[in-house]
A and B are shown apart, each in its own frame.
Chain A
Amino acid sequence: MHDTSDQAAVHHHAPPKGFLWTHVFSLDHKVIGKQYYFLSLAAVVIGMVLSWIMRFHLAWAAAAIPGLQHLSQVGAPGGIITPEYYLSLLTLHGTLMVFFVLTTAPQAGFGNYFLPIQIGAEDMAFPRLNMLSFWVTFVGFVTLVSTLFISDGPPISGWTAYAPLSALGNDAGPGLGRGQILWVISIGIFCIGSLLGALNFIATTLDLRCKGMTLARMPYTVWAWFITAVLGLLAFAVLLPACVLLVLDHVGGTSFFIPGGLVLSDKLQPHSGGSTLLWQHMFWFFGHPEVYIAIIPGIGITSHILASTARKPLLGGSRVLVGCMVAIAFLSFTVWGHHMFISGMNPFSSLLFSVPTLIITIPASIISLNWIATVFGARLRFHTPGLFAIGFISVFVTGGLSGFFLAQPSLDIYLHATYFVVGHFHMVMGVAAIFGMFAGTYFWFPKMFGRMMNETMGKIHFWVTFIGVYCIFMPMHYIGLAGNVRRYSAFVDDYLIPLIPVHKFITIAAFVTGAAQLLFLFNLFWSMYRGKKAEENPWDSTTLEWTIPSPPPFDNFGGRHPIVYHDPYELGVEGAKGDYVMQDSPEKLAQS
């Protein structure tokens, strides 16, 4: 038996002094969490601007974008986007969004800030490692963005970097030489950062819980971050060597992913013997768990906020939610082949992969049904974070249902690589996860910055975004059904030309929705300085982060060691002060 206070004492470190140590190389998980958050914010802004440029080009392919030639003279001569520059932007958009936004903000950002607080710890288990993970991730980010400014531009091989396109260098197309090498190095660095982060999250969750914080009493978010960390620890370990091998194919002349006898630009390539399917396997072996790395924190955050919004714990409580998340995490390692149904993989494997892919919809359906059933009989408070949490449910259900089509190899024959897939994953992994981030931002902003975000702007932001994403991504399903192929920089096929008006509609919707995001950015920075001062517990929530001042002191609990007496969501409790009981309140509950 160990004494909690001893344990806490081991991790105690003194508040640092000086700007460099308090804001840049801080060991404080709260500062690191914010650093991750703002890194993601930078990435999401770049990614969003790239998507606007792409959307504009798709709708009006021949039109010049004034000023774009200053960003890249080669990529956009006279402001008109070249096909390869479109693909460069596409690659950068995908990579930034998947790695530096979806993987970073909800997990490393919010997780870093709130996981220790929610389990009643003073900091992460390894504060130095924590700082290192952030700075490693930062280097990865800078490396990736730097590809925009090198002469031959970012790679054009998409965020999946399918070999041999990604392995053959400039003979395969512009940007595939230095740009691709930088891309692979960036992703490799990102893997290292994520692995270190995951390790830290797991150790923190297991070892640093305060007295009374049993596994069953951990908030939904903590569970989600913990499960995501486990996924990250196992999945990024596979992508890392894949990146190393791909770099070797570039700089070492090896042929891991390059078969023999390839002729590019009239040049017979010197490589031989490799396998392109090997890269796809390695990538998707990581890539599918990655999808859940992106969405599970969102599921956690949504559940956490939904409970507070609905004034009742989730139907089925932690047990069902955690069970489903664990099931999803487990199954996520068995389904990667559904990205490769028509990739030339052994057709028997496709049948094998379709079964767990369909089965994984069961836990996802249970979670969704439980959310909807939680809204039943609730006392909903429609504040902005609550709206985003409910919006998350809607888009998650919508996006998830189209997964039923793509999970079946025989339907994938028609739908693979069409906008149906684009609509599906943007809805379920992009929009849903970003709704989770918005919900988290509005919900935790008072705790992180000590001020409330403006509700009016928040509500305008929500309504425009919610309606906007449906206007953007539902039509993508329709044109996908009509066979609109993805990753095309212009639509020149006879049957695609009639679909261009739909693309124009999507583009306009994207610009309107994008404008709402600018409002959000304004709200974020305006509220940081001008927002209403936040109280300790503005949302009448129950978990430990609401028992401490906003913003929290350096060691979170001001030297106090919280003791937890209750389940995390004692909301809607009869007879309690307000209608809730804080997790660390010694008050006894009537057994209901």
Chain B
Amino acid sequence: MRSGYFTALAVAVLLGSGMLVFAKPPAGSGSITGKVTYTGTPPKMKPIDMSKEPSCAKQHATPVMTQNVTTGPGNALQWVVVYISAGDEGSSAPSQGARYDQKGCEYLPHVLPMQVAQQLQIYNDDQTSHNIHPLSKTNPEWNKSQPPGSPPIDTKYDKAEFIPVKCNIHPWMHGYFAVLNTSHYAVSGEDGSFDIKGLPPGKYTVTAWQEQYPAQSQEVTISGSEAKTANFVFKVLPY
């Protein structure tokens, strides 16, 4: 019995150290930067009426707007996930978890990128109950409430998927988990720019995903510690 344990322990230690050596992605120094923009007339974002939850409503001086097509100056398009969809297989999840906040009856951030098997912590910073209902299709779907004062929800996803997240209690709360197979990703900011760092030399497919419009891809080849540029343009419609 005891020797059995010992063997198991030894194997585990060996495997663990082996993984540390081999599974760590070779650190690169190439990068892809760019900007996501749109053409056409974007739909008007609508103000959200939070009056039913006064504790949230009073945290916002001006009404919060819907975020499905968030634009910025210079036709910038925010909340677009740009990631390496091919050419970067096999990177393991980082030890640091991704943090998702519910604050003022909003999801912060609106789109949360994370890696497959990466720990995900969901916090409720409000004085009201939220329920987190990620509408996953390939991963198992769940729906859990988080009353104020209860511990954070600790979970992870095992398959790559873009998962819409919803709070049923506050139906306007809408966000996304972008569960990716790669450790190289970025989300476009207010000015539409993104920056993917630490890429080793190689040939990559870079994909930009937006929640409402079809995703786009580009081929990018990086040699050495090159800094390449890739811009994405989404065609948007007013309705």
Contact = CB atoms under 8 A, between A and B. Distances in A.
Contact flag (A, B; Cβ within 8 A):
yes
Interface of A: 62, 64, 74, 77-78, 80-85, 170, 173-174, 265-267, 490, 492
Interface string B117-143: 000000000001101010100000101
A316 B237 CA distance: 81
B129 to A, nearest CB: 6
A80 B149 contact: yes
A84 B131 contact: yes
Contacts of B184: none
B166 A266 contact: yes
Nearest to A489: B129
B146 interface: yes
B134 to A, nearest CB: 10
Contact of B147 (A80, A170, A173, A267): A80
A83 B169 contact: yes
Interface in B142-156: 143-151, 153
Contact of A82 (B133, B147, B166): B147
Given A83-B129, A265-B166, A266-B166, A174 B151 contact: no
A265 B150 contact: no
29 contacts: A62-B148, A77-B144, A77-B146, A77-B147, A77-B150, A77-B151, A77-B153, A78-B149, A78-B151, A80-B147, A80-B149, A80-B150, A81-B147, A82-B144, A82-B146, A83-B129, A83-B131, A83-B147, A84-B131, A85-B145, A173-B143, A173-B168, A174-B143, A174-B145, A265-B133, A265-B135, A266-B135, A266-B166, A267-B135
Contacts of B168: 173, 265
A170 B150 contact: no
Contacts of A170: 141, 143
Nearest to B168: A265
B200 interface: no
Given A80-B149, A82-B145, A173-B168, 20 more contacts: A64-B149, A77-B144, A77-B146, A78-B149, A78-B150, A78-B151, A80-B150, A82-B144, A82-B146, A82-B147, A82-B150, A83-B145, A83-B147, A85-B145, A170-B143, A173-B143, A265-B133, A265-B143, A265-B168, A266-B166
A84 B164 contact: no
B153 to A, nearest CB: 8
Nearest to B153: A77
Given A82-B129, A492-B128, A266 B164 contact: yes
A556 B45 CA distance: 80
Contacts of B145: 82-85, 174
A273 B51 CA distance: 35
Contacts of A266: 135, 164, 166
A contact patch SS: loop
Contacts of A82: 129, 131, 144-147, 150
A62 B149 contact: yes
A265 B133 CA distance: 8
Contacts of B153: 77
Interface residues of B, number: 20
A80 B151 CA distance: 9
A267 B168 CA distance: 13
A447 B145 CA distance: 51
A62 B166 CA distance: 23
A78 B129 CA distance: 14
B132 to A, nearest CB: 11
A487 B145 CA distance: 17
A128 to B, nearest CB: 46
A74 B166 CA distance: 18
A-B pairs with lowest CB-CB distance, top 8: A82-B145, A77-B150, A78-B150, A80-B147, A80-B150, A78-B151, A174-B143, A83-B129
Interface string B173-203: 0000000000000000000000000000000
Contacts of A74: 144
A492 B169 CA distance: 13
Contacts of A78: 149-151
Interface string B83-123: 00000000000000000000000000000000000000000
B167 to A, nearest CB: 10
A84 B131 CA distance: 9
A80 B146 CA distance: 9
A153 B149 CA distance: 21
B135 A174 contact: no
A323 to B, nearest CB: 52
A83 B143 CA distance: 12
Contacts of A490: 129
Contacts of B164: 266
Nearest to A85: B145
Contacts of A64: 149
B144 A174 contact: yes
Contacts of B147: 62, 77, 80-83
B115 to A, nearest CB: 25
A77 B144 CA distance: 10
B127 to A, nearest CB: 9
Nearest to B133: A265
A64 B149 CA distance: 9
Contacts of B141: 170
Nearest to B164: A266
A170 B142 CA distance: 9
A174 B168 CA distance: 11
Interface centre among A74, A77, A81, A266, by most chain B C-beta atoms within 10 angstroms, is: A77
A74 B146 CA distance: 9
B50 to A, nearest CB: 13
A81 B128 CA distance: 13
A490 B128 CA distance: 10
Contacts of B131: 82-84
A78 B153 CA distance: 11
B128 to A, nearest CB: 7
A366 to B, nearest CB: 49
B139 to A, nearest CB: 14
Nearest to A57: B147
Contacts of B148: 62
A446 B146 CA distance: 51
A85 B143 CA distance: 12
Nearest to B144: A74
Contacts of A77: 144, 146-147, 150-151, 153
A93 B173 CA distance: 32
A78 B148 CA distance: 11
